[in-house]
Amino acid sequence: MSKKWTIQSIREYVEKNTDTKLLSTEFTGFSQKLDFQCACGTTFQKPWKKFKENKQQKCDVCQPPKESR
Q: What is the binding site for Zn ion (CB under 5 A)?
A: 38, 40, 42, 58-59, 61-62
| SS3 assignment, position 11 | helix
Residue 1 CB, nearest distance to Zn ion (Å)?
30
- Pick between residue 22 and residue 38 the one whose CB is nearest to Zn ion: 38
Residue 60 CB, nearest distance to Zn ion (Å)?
8
Residues 6+ apart with CB under 8 A from 34: 10, 22, 23, 24, 27, 45, 46, 47, 48, 51
- Pick between residue 5 and residue 37 the one whose CB is nearest to Zn ion: 37
Cα gap 32→40, rounded to integer Å: 23
Residue 62 CB, nearest distance to Zn ion (Å)?
3
